[in-house]
């Protein structure tokens, strides 16, 4: 498996700041609490979810 070298664009899109901004927009649009989750995956280190994650993922922020 080859390692993926992140481009500046990918680094920006996969940042914690971007994940938090997405969570805020989803919260405003849906009215449902959103969680910023750390995945441990170097390609997608953060994701946004409306449900609490299971191990080994961890909640980094809650937008309520």
* Mean of all residue pLDDT scores within the chain: 93
pTM reported for the whole predicted model:
0.87
**Over residues 40-58, mean pLDDT:** 95
Runs of H (alpha helix) within the chain? 8-13, 16-30
What is the Cα gyration radius of the chain?
12
Q: d(Cα 24, Cα 19) in Å, to the nearest integer?
A: 9
Token pair 């920006």 in the structure block, residue: 12
| 35, pLDDT greater than 80 | yes
Sheet holding 34-38, edge to edge: 46-49, 34-38, 58-63
More confident residue, 48 or 11: 48
């Amino acid at each position: 498996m080859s390692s993926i070298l992140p481009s500046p664009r990918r680094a920006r899109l996969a940042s914690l700041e971007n994940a938090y901004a997405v969570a805020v927009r989803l919260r405003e649009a849906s009215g449902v609490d959103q969680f910023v989750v750390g995945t441990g995956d170097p390609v997608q280190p953060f994701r946004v979810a409306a449900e609490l994650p299971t191990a080994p993922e961890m909640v980094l922020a809650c937008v309520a």
